Structure 1
Amino acid sequence: MIRNLWGPQQVADYLGVPVGTVYQWRSRGGGPPGRRVGKHVRYKPDDVESWFESLDEGVI
């Protein structure tokens, strides 16, 4: 069972970055993987955490 999905604001809060940064990452093809649900983008918390753990230190 998956946990509740996150929107861009929850991703930004988790990572400690402005929500605009999450939108920029998505528009440039970077950042954690998200999926469209209708007109909204949603993120699986496990995917966000895995993406973060895969980064080299100081990359964000």
Structure 2
Amino acid sequence: MTRDERLWTPEDVSEFLGIPIGTLYQWRTRRTGPPGRRVGKHLRYVPGDVLAWVLEQS
């Protein structure tokens, strides 16, 4: 992973998807949204995983 391929914060994902951050957290609780990972105490997303999740949605 290069420096330009940094992990996304929940705010980054919210902006990318055009949804409120609260919706993103609700999806995470329900396990229906894009997969996130804990890095220490921080929640982060791999951009490719988010895009793959978007493409899987019908």
TM-score (norm 2): 0.90
Moved over 4 A (4+): none
Q: Which residue of 1 aligns with 2:35?
A: 33
Pairs within 5 Å for 1:1-60: 1=1, 3-56=5-58
TM-score (norm 1): 0.87
Identity %: 55
> Cα RMSD (Å) of the superposition?
0.9
Shift of 1:4: 0.4
Structure with higher helix content: 2
5+ long unaligned stretches in structure 1: none
CA–CA distance in structure 2, aligned partners of residues 29 and 14 of structure 1? 19
Shift of 1:29: 1.1
Deviations 1:4-58 (A, max 9, x none): 00011100000000000110000111100110011111000000000001100xx
CA–CA distance in structure 1, aligned partners of residues 21 and 32 of structure 2? 14
5+ long unaligned stretches in structure 2: none
